[in-house]
A and B are shown apart, each in its own frame.
Chain A
Amino acid sequence: MNVSLNWLASYIDLEGLGTQEMADMLTFAGIEVEGIQERGVKTDLVVVAQVMEKTPVEGSDHLNVCMVDAGEGSLRQIVCGAQNYKVGDKVPCALPGAVLPGGWEIKDGKLRGVESRGMLCSASELGLPDKEHGLWILPADYVIGTPVRQFVGTDTIFELEITPNRPDLLSHWGMARELAGITGRKLKADPASAAMGAVETKPAGDVITLSAPDICPLYTATRISGVKIGPSPEWLADRLVAIGLRPINNVVDITNYCLFELGHPLHAFDAAKLTGGLNIRRAAEGEQFESLMGDTYTLKSDDVVISDASGSALALGGVMGGLNSGVTEQTTDIVLESAWFARSNIRFTSRRLGLGSDSSYRFERGTSPWNVLRAAARATELILECAGGTAEPVLVGGQAPCLVPEENAPNATVVEQGSDAKIYYALDQVQLDWKELDVMTDGSIPHTEATTILKNLGLKNIDGRGTWDCPPWRLDLKRSCDLLEEIVRVYGIDNIPATNTAIYVEESANDRASDYRMALSRKLAGAGFWEAQTFKLIAAESIDPTIASVENALPIKPLMDGDIIRVSLPISEDHSTLRPSLAPGLISVAARNINQGLEVLRFFECGRVFRNTGGGKGKDIETEVLGIFMAGKVGPASWADTKPAGAGFEHIRAVLDILVPKATITLIPAKQARENAAVGADIQINNQACGYFARLSLAKCRALGLPMESYYAELDLRKLQQVATAPYKATDLPQFPGSSRDASLDVPAATRHADIMKAVEAAKQKLLVSTGLKDVFCDPTGEKLAADRKAMTYTFLYRDAKKTLTAAEVDAAHKCVLDTLAAKVKGLSFR
């Protein structure tokens, strides 16, 4: 909300309060200052000048060279680009040395090579609202050479962000009241008090029918006859312009003015356009409403409309007037609405229709029923003053919501408004417990000081103990903690000493999980992997490889439709679905980096993946996983290694091995390869399923622009942690040397390493402590080895814990292993 300091100063004495001081004061009262605009000219170097000559600048289609008389005895040459002036006009002229709003200093200079000694100004260049497009044409009777400062006022506009709990601050009077409360400065007269002193009210009878009392329980209408619609007086128009509003006509301007003065929205109908009494009712489902802006809206039954005997909707209650019921130049009689609407309905209507106004903004945050009659009386007073006419008593329909005395608040203090038809407003009563204040502030705020703070804010202590009446404008004060907040806020947290309290705590499972995740991440970073953090919301499918999409999830089992969790109303298809795997994100990261020419593509991510267990009807499962993606070269090329090898299966396998060095990792090939994954496998750690592995299909790689093998592994972080952090003991180093033997096996090409290892195990040779694959040799040409065969060389290490083995003992053990191999592995021979 924009607040004009000039306007504010008519309600509270701001003498001696600097702009920055005031900004700080507001900030520490919880009102965010989003901007400060200084309006008007403060320098004497902007003067009234008359344009004496005007000739086009050669080679320019819009610049003119002007000779102007600024009252200096000689003419001044200034180049000007505006088009709206003529020779003889008087305009503001900024002389060299003048500093304009925004800190812009005017200097002698040249434009298109033509000397220019100053600047002719528009209103906006002087920090004033623009009244015309181009130079500000001044009245002809202004004296040449006079500083413009003498004709225009200055003002400071604060752009304030009011938190949703403080709708009482959404007006100048409300802001003045708050400043008085927090500074102790004196408030001037309440702008509504004179009008309220004279207000007459009458029961509305059947003129007002409240058909939706849950949404609109209180509605007043004031008929003013014989008004003369015309422009607003200058003081009123200036105030509206200052806060960014456009003056329309005196009656409409006054309803707007009262909204920004007292904070309560009003609406004026043209009485001639109403038929019979007013009916405030819920809209019919599908009812059409045409707003005063000319747009048509389809309504629902939670919307409230003001209709008349004709039944048509004249206004969308609390939000906006209708097209054909408003005040025009021809209007002579008006009906002024001041009412109270339930905030949730107005919010619902405004948001659903995307239709907001200064009125709906206030109603949806909450307005005080106490302000209904005040605004009606104040606006009527101003209309009579500015537009003439005679006012009838205010017709009151209904009663302030939930506030009829006795029934709802037996002990409440009741404020009574009006004459014949009374509006009762019961004040909220709050019990303040001083002990709570002492606990909250460690006893640092004296109770006398706290009492003063509450009193300054308009609260009244009614029993000399802890019972406080809250002022009618403060809708947010309901409980003890609300008062504590006020005391702390105004006293200032700066004045409350900081303390440090700590307790001893047990380490939680989450602490250990976080430690493991960081250790794992650092290990992978050290192994040459970049940690990525990709978006949890991904696309269902996309042809752009840099957009993560579910189709790249590379699962071992097919993902069913219901497994995937999709938000109801995504912002875009690219971010519509919760990721079922980290693969799509990491693939998109690889695709993005390939586009930047990166050749080593090694990424990992730790994070949650999401699945539904029961085809959309079961539980939503969130699992913390580790995803590892690897493609491209094993390392960057350099002079020392000009052609690094491409990453292969063995490299991703090596990474898996360093994750859990003490465990056995097994890949169990998937029965059926999935789309996008040429090869897929379940990953088992110590024979427990722990994740999956995939090599991307070459078709997918080509689609990614990735002409190399690409691997992905995803592991359950909790299971990984369980294995990796299992307790263990150190073992003694062997005391006797071992002895190794190599064997080169000539086997059919289809023989797997696992087949060999199984046979070695079957030998049950106790002296054998390790078996290592040393070399694999194939020869597709068939020259050195038949093309359908391969040679696998293994090293076998033998050792006895208790003695040094003799050569004969080692040979015997080795022979046992080789014999078993020969017997168990089909088609094996030794080379």
Chain B
Amino acid sequence: MKDQIASVQAAALDRIAGITDMRGLEDARVGILGKKGTLTQVQQGMRNVPKEDKPAVGAMLNEARAIITAALDDRKAALQAELDAAAVAGVDFTMPGATLPAGGLHPISIVRDEAVRVLRRMGFTLADGPDIEDEWHCFDALNTPDDHPARNEKDTFYFDSGKLLRTQTSTVQARVMEKQAPPVRIICPGSAFRRDAIDATHLSAFNQIEGLYVDKNVSVGDLKGTLEYFLKALFGSETAVRFRPHFFPFTEPSFEIDVLLQAAGQAPRWIEIAGCGMVNPAVFENIDKATGKTQYSGCTGFAFGIGLERLAMIRWGIRDIRLLIENDVRFLAQFQ
């Protein structure tokens, strides 16, 4: 019996040493240790072993099982290590990846979101107004004279109903103030429409972001501080900003804002980026007259407007504004 055990053990260890794959390993485990395995069969001879020899033979059997099991485990670990090494051996890390469907945001959304995030951080909340407006909100309330050129079928889209497509997001100033008492601190991104033929620098429908801050004692200094911070947040903290006096009916004094920008290989240039000014007292009077209240009398405030297409074009050096409405994926893919 002892000899049998020794020879089965030796044969088993030989077999294990010669195993080359996981399947052979599993076959060996079953063939040696399984129900009909070589060692199990020898084990069945135990009942014929004299009683006094049983402890010694039993111990020998257990030892043989332990040795074989350990050999199987070692062999398995070695095989697994070989397999693991082989699994990474042939990988070509220079292969291109499989392709996922690409997607992304439109550049106008990207600049709008960025501007909105900066301004909300500065305590402005979003407000809204319709694209289809009446003359009161678009012109009258904003101190635009009756014979102003914008009030013309050649410059503005009118409807048979007498309504029109707003020519500027400033309409929202009137919309908000007629509903809300001061203080007002709002921004409104949205569409505006002008009857311009579409070319490389003009669209008849475009996007603006409007801002308005009204309270007691709002000053030119506040306008300056707010817009300088806003533009530096958009264009970088080193950006130079200048205010040029200008004219808009709904603000007085009015300014155009330039930022000093440098394109590659060019001298820095002042680029017009926005219009702004202190709210014309006539606007407050118009609102109070319309609401029958006097809540805006004695208020001061500033307003500003910035074109989002222009912002995107300056930011990314886009030469033709039409690219922004064509939605060619070769273009959209550049902004991701």
Residues of A within 8 A of B (CB): 27-30, 32, 163-166, 343-344, 347-348, 351, 364, 439-442, 444, 479-482, 484-485, 488-489, 493-494, 496-508, 510-511, 513-514, 518, 521-522, 524-537, 565-571, 575, 578, 589, 592-593, 596, 598, 600, 602-603, 608, 610, 620, 622, 634-641
Q: List 19 A-B contacts (CB under 8 A).
A: A30-B245, A166-B247, A493-B243, A496-B224, A498-B221, A500-B226, A501-B215, A502-B123, A510-B125, A514-B126, A518-B109, A529-B103, A569-B195, A592-B326, A592-B327, A602-B101, A620-B161, A640-B98, A641-B99
B291 at the interface (CB under 8 A from A): no
User: Which residue on B lies nearest to A575, using beta carbons?
Assistant: B204
Residues on A with C-beta less than 8 A from B235 are: none
CB of A511 within 8 A of CB of B158, answer: no
- B303 CB → nearest A CB, Å: 14
CB of B102 within 8 A of CB of A610, answer: no
- B45 CB → nearest A CB, Å: 41
B9 at the interface (CB under 8 A from A): no
Residues on A with C-beta less than 8 A from B109 are: 518, 521, 531, 533
Known: A344-B146, A610-B131. A488 touches B124 (CB 8 A): no
CB of B123 within 8 A of CB of A505, answer: yes
CB of A28 within 8 A of CB of B158, answer: no
User: Which residue on A lies nearest to B272, using beta carbons?
Assistant: A32
B191 at the interface (CB under 8 A from A): yes
Among B26-34, B35-43, B82-90, B148-156, which stretch is in contact with chain A?
Answer: B148-156
CB of A493 within 8 A of CB of B252, answer: no
CB of A508 within 8 A of CB of B126, answer: yes
Contact of A600 among B101, B124, B125 (CB under 8 A): B101
Known: A440-B300, A522-B105, A638-B96. A568 touches B153 (CB 8 A): yes
CB of A30 within 8 A of CB of B247, answer: yes
CB of B324 within 8 A of CB of A533, answer: yes
Task: Give 17 new A-B contacts, CB below 8 A, not counting A533-B325, A589-B327, A635-B101.
Answer: A30-B245, A343-B147, A351-B152, A441-B219, A481-B281, A489-B253, A500-B225, A501-B218, A501-B222, A511-B120, A525-B336, A530-B332, A566-B159, A636-B99, A636-B101, A637-B99, A639-B96
CA separation between A571 and B245, bound complex, in Å? 33
CB of A537 within 8 A of CB of B131, answer: no
CA separation between A35 and B281, bound complex, in Å? 34
Q: Which residues of B in the span 113-131 have a Cβ within 8 Å of any Cβ on A?
A: 113, 116, 120, 122-128, 130-131
Residues on B with C-beta less than 8 A from A510 are: 125-128
CB of A507 within 8 A of CB of B154, answer: no
User: Which residue on B lies nearest to A589, using beta carbons?
Assistant: B327
CB of B229 within 8 A of CB of A500, answer: yes
- A705 CB → nearest B CB, Å: 16
Known: A493-B255, A522-B105, A537-B205. A568 touches B160 (CB 8 A): yes
User: Which residue on A lies nearest to B280, using beta carbons?
Assistant: A481
CB of B125 within 8 A of CB of A440, answer: no
User: Which residue on A lies nearest to B336, using beta carbons?
Assistant: A525
CB of B131 within 8 A of CB of A608, answer: yes
- A183 CB → nearest B CB, Å: 15
- B220 CB → nearest A CB, Å: 5
Q: Which residues of B in the span 287-312 have a Cβ within 8 Å of any Cβ on A?
A: 300
Residues on B with C-beta less than 8 A from A640 are: 97-99
- B242 CB → nearest A CB, Å: 8
Residues on B with C-beta less than 8 A from A343 are: 147
CB of B218 within 8 A of CB of A28, answer: no
Known: A503-B183, A635-B99. A533 touches B106 (CB 8 A): yes
Known: A518-B113, A568-B159, A592-B327. A525 touches B219 (CB 8 A): no
CB of A502 within 8 A of CB of B122, answer: yes
B185 at the interface (CB under 8 A from A): yes
B12 at the interface (CB under 8 A from A): no
CB of A499 within 8 A of CB of B219, answer: yes
CB of B106 within 8 A of CB of A532, answer: yes
Contact of A493 among B103, B220, B325, B332 (CB under 8 A): B220
Known: A485-B253, A620-B163. A532 touches B219 (CB 8 A): no
CB of B165 within 8 A of CB of A567, answer: yes
Task: Kindly supply a per-residue 1/0 record for chain B positions 253-265, scoring 1 wherever the CB is within 8 Å of any chain A CB and 0 otherwise.
Answer: 1110000000000
CA separation between A532 and B255, bound complex, in Å? 33
Residues on B with C-beta less than 8 A from A530 are: 102-104, 106, 327, 329, 332
- B72 CB → nearest A CB, Å: 33
Interface size class of B (residues with CB under 8 A): 35 or more
Residues on A with C-beta less than 8 A from B96 are: 638-639
Known: A537-B205, A641-B98. A593 touches B329 (CB 8 A): yes
Residues of B within 8 A of A (CB): 95-106, 108-109, 113, 116, 120, 122-128, 130-132, 146-147, 149, 152-154, 157-161, 163, 165, 183, 185, 191, 193, 195-198, 203-205, 213, 215, 217-222, 224-226, 228-229, 242-247, 252-255, 278, 280-282, 300, 324-330, 332, 336
- A721 CB → nearest B CB, Å: 14
Identify the interface centre among B113, B157, B185: most chain A CB within 10 Å of its CB. B157
CB of B253 within 8 A of CB of A488, answer: yes
User: Which residue on A lies nearest to B221, using beta carbons?
Assistant: A499
A-B pairs, 8 with minimum CB distance: A528-B101, A30-B245, A640-B98, A163-B247, A510-B126, A344-B147, A498-B225, A485-B253
CA separation between A636 and B281, bound complex, in Å? 59
CB of A442 within 8 A of CB of B125, answer: no
Contact of B328 among A164, A528, A566, A593 (CB under 8 A): A593
CA separation between A593 and B326, bound complex, in Å? 9
CA separation between A533 and B247, bound complex, in Å? 32
Contact of A511 among B126, B157, B204 (CB under 8 A): B126
Contact of B103 among A351, A513, A602 (CB under 8 A): A602
Residues on A with C-beta less than 8 A from B153 are: 568-569
CA separation between A481 and B152, bound complex, in Å? 28
User: Which residue on A lies nearest to B101, using beta carbons?
Assistant: A528
CB of A565 within 8 A of CB of B159, answer: yes
Residues on A with C-beta less than 8 A from B158 are: 567-569
User: Which residue on B lies nearest to A31, using beta carbons?
Assistant: B245
CB of A592 within 8 A of CB of B103, answer: no
CB of A603 within 8 A of CB of B185, answer: no
CB of A496 within 8 A of CB of B132, answer: no
CB of A30 within 8 A of CB of B104, answer: no
Residues on A with C-beta less than 8 A from B327 are: 530, 532-534, 589, 592-593, 603
CB of A498 within 8 A of CB of B106, answer: no
CA separation between A575 and B322, bound complex, in Å? 14
Identify the interface centre among A514, A528, A534, A566: most chain B CB within 10 Å of its CB. A514
CA separation between A607 and B109, bound complex, in Å? 11
- A341 CB → nearest B CB, Å: 13
- A605 CB → nearest B CB, Å: 8
Residues on B with C-beta less than 8 A from A589 are: 327
User: Which residue on A lies nearest to B324, using beta carbons?
Assistant: A533
CB of B102 within 8 A of CB of A163, answer: no
CA separation between A518 and B242, bound complex, in Å? 32
CB of B300 within 8 A of CB of A439, answer: yes
Residues on B with C-beta less than 8 A from A620 are: 130, 132, 161, 163
CB of B125 within 8 A of CB of A505, answer: yes
CA separation between A637 and B131, bound complex, in Å? 42
CB of A441 within 8 A of CB of B221, answer: yes
CB of B116 within 8 A of CB of A496, answer: no
CA separation between A636 and B106, bound complex, in Å? 20
CB of A29 within 8 A of CB of B128, answer: no
CB of A535 within 8 A of CB of B219, answer: no
CA separation between A686 and B104, bound complex, in Å? 29
Residues on A with C-beta less than 8 A from B161 are: 620
CB of B99 within 8 A of CB of A525, answer: no
Known: A537-B204, A638-B98. A622 touches B130 (CB 8 A): yes
- A405 CB → nearest B CB, Å: 26
Known: A521-B109, A524-B103, A532-B106. A498 touches B224 (CB 8 A): yes
- B314 CB → nearest A CB, Å: 18
CB of A484 within 8 A of CB of B100, answer: no
- B15 CB → nearest A CB, Å: 41
- A494 CB → nearest B CB, Å: 8
CA separation between A528 and B332, bound complex, in Å? 13
